[in-house]
Structure 1
Amino acid sequence: MLNVLFEDNHVLVVNKPAGLLVHGDETGDTTLADLAREYIRHKYNKPGNVFVGVVHRLDRPVSGVVLLAKTSKALARLNELFRNKKTQKTYWAIVQQRPQPEQGTLVHWLVKDAARNVTKAYAKENPQGQRSELHYQLISTQQDKYLLEVNPITGRPHQIRVQLASLRCPILGDLKYGAPAPLPDKSIALHARRLQFEHPTLKTTVTVSAPLPTIAAWAPFRQLQ
């Protein structure tokens, strides 16, 4: 079942649940793109192939806003927006350590180990790494859990996860980057909360927010939505 947040003739914005792939991999599991094609096929009674363009991705255990293109023209224009950093992405992350300082900018050079599907952050320039930057701030404290709002400036694999871990604030449930225990549904407490982008044909500003997941980990912060 696709949770549609915004849709018109050119774009489809959905709230991806944790555990669902955005795009296919070696597992062959059903993807968000697959579900979007089926949704469009049935809603509009379209025979044959249905075009769905993946503009950006979220890691499998991450939930939240994902933007898809319904036409090749929209895909090309949205890809250009992301490439030129002309979108605004806002994430919420729950961590178990209070960040020090409580707000700031993190810059690292990230090197991905594709074989192990893990990324390492270097504080100094690394010729093999990609420069990665994000802003974060503590926005709420509840029951010894800390909610951070994160605005990535760059979009690298596992960027928010590894950069927060480098701050000694691994994301709740993220065993890969230092969390002590998993969440019951194997998700991590990282949610793509909001996305702002320029519409590919109308040139208007579109802002879409995704409600928080229903699992218990997010319950203390649900009133902030």
Structure 2
Amino acid sequence: MKKNIQVIYQDKDLAVCYKAAGVPVQTSKAGRQDMVSLLRNYFAERGDNTQVYVVHRLDQPVEGVMVFARNQDAAANLSRQSRERSMDKCYMALAEGIFQESSAVLEDYLLREGRSNTSRVVSQSTPGAKQAKLSYEVIEVWQPLQVYSGEAEHSLSRLQQEGRRIFSAYWRSQRENEVSLIQIKLETGRHHQIRVQMAHAGHPLVGDKKYNPNSSREYLPVALCAVKIAFCHPRDGRNMEFTV
């Protein structure tokens, strides 16, 4: 089935897109559409056969805003910004439970398990362990009654429009426990970092089949959205910021 792609901004150097939950950024599986092929098709349909370059990643179950380069110079520049953490990325998520601290920094060491495509928290001395650091802020706590009645939906729209797509189903799936709407900023970019660190902290993300043992059996994407990305334009250095 052909999928459409939502292009938020484009010029000769880059394209900013919305990635839907469930769509991989890039895959080697034959016949499976990913963001790279969708974006290439988007340009080809408009008579433009330029290449598309991946400069950062977003987990397949996660939705949100991404930037892709359209030439090698832009790819090198944007990749460097992402690698050096000068590319600002902000996420919103629904995490289970009530946080003891309204804001905090989480710092752990993660080890990636290739066979299972997972990561886990390990000690600093573990061979292959990499530092993982993020900060979070609790925006609001939704009680079961709020979740069930839909009051949380209005609250989310009032607080922040970004990321509302992924949260539309969760007040139907969470009827017994409190959930916290949180805003997250990454200081490192590790495999499944937000999902692993939040689960390790005792607040797994709603809908996360890999790291949340209480996740509903019905299909729901992980309640995590990259809501904002900001960077310097690779050609002229001007500040660029986009939200979804």
Superposed CA deviations along residues 88-118 of structure 1, whole A, max 9, x for unmatched, are 1100010121122221001111101000111
Aligned length: 207
CA contact (8 A) 2:206 2:212 kept: no
DSSP 3-state at the match of 1:119:
strand
Contact between 1:108 and 1:125, CA under 8 Å: does it hold in 2? no
2:186 to 152, 155, 163: 152
Find the counterpart in structure 1 of residue 173 from structure 2.
none
- How far apart are residue 77 of structure 1 and its match? 0.6
Is 1:3 the counterpart of 2:37? The answer is: no
- Say whether 1:12 aligns with 2:15: yes
Match of 1:40 in 2: 43
Q: Distance in 2 between matches of 1:146 and 1:183?
A: 21
1:82 aligns with 2:65: no
Partner secondary structure for residue 45 of structure 2: helix
* Most deviating of 26-35 and 9-18: 26-35
Give percent identity, aligned residues only. 29
Residue 59 (structure 1) shift: 0.7
1:213 is matched with which residue? none
Whole-Å Cα distance in 1 between the matches of residues 124 and 55 of structure 2?
30
Structure 1 letter corresponding to 2:133: E
TM-score by structure 1 length?
Answer: 0.87
Query: What's 1:115 paired with?
Result: 115
Question: What do the CA deviations read for 1:173-193 (whole angstroms, capped 9, x no partner)?
Answer: 102112412375441000001
What residue is the counterpart of 2:241 in the other structure?
207
Partner SS state of residue 37, structure 2: helix
Does structure 2 retain, via aligned residues, the 8 Å contact 1:61–1:186? no
Aligned-residue Cα RMSD (Å) equals 1.6
Q: What CA distance in whole angstroms lies between the structure 1 residues aligned with 2:190 and 2:56?
A: 11
Task: Report the TM-score, using the length of structure 2 for normalisation.
Answer: 0.80
Distance in 2, matches of 1:124 and 1:98, equals: 28
Deviations for 1:39-84, whole angstroms, at most 9, x for unmatched residues?
Answer: 01112x13xx530001111111000011100111100110111111
For residue 86 of structure 1, what is the amino acid of its counterpart? S
In structure 2, C-alpha distance between the alignment counterparts of 1:87 and 1:57, rounded to whole Å: 12
Following superposition, the deviation at residue 9 of structure 1 comes to: 1.4
Post-superposition Cα deviations, 1:134-164, rounded to whole Å, max 9, x if no partner, equal 0001012233321110000010110000001
Runs of 4+ off more than 4 Å: none
**Distance (whole Å) between structure 1 residues aligned to residue 10 and residue 217 of structure 2:** 32
Q: Would you say the 8 A contact 2:65–2:228 is kept in 1?
A: yes
Trace 1:100-179 onto structure 2 (pairs within 5 A).
100-122=100-122, 124-142=124-142, 143=147, 144-179=178-213
User: Letter of the aligned partner of 2:233 in structure 1?
Assistant: H
Q: Distance in 2 between matches of 1:9 and 1:178?
A: 41
Q: Which SS does the other structure have where 2:32 is aligned?
A: coil
Task: Select 1:31's aligned residue among 20, 34, 39.
Answer: 34
Contact 1:99 1:167 in 2 (8 A): no
C-alpha deviation, 1:8, in angstroms:
1.4
Structure 1 counterpart of 2:53: 53
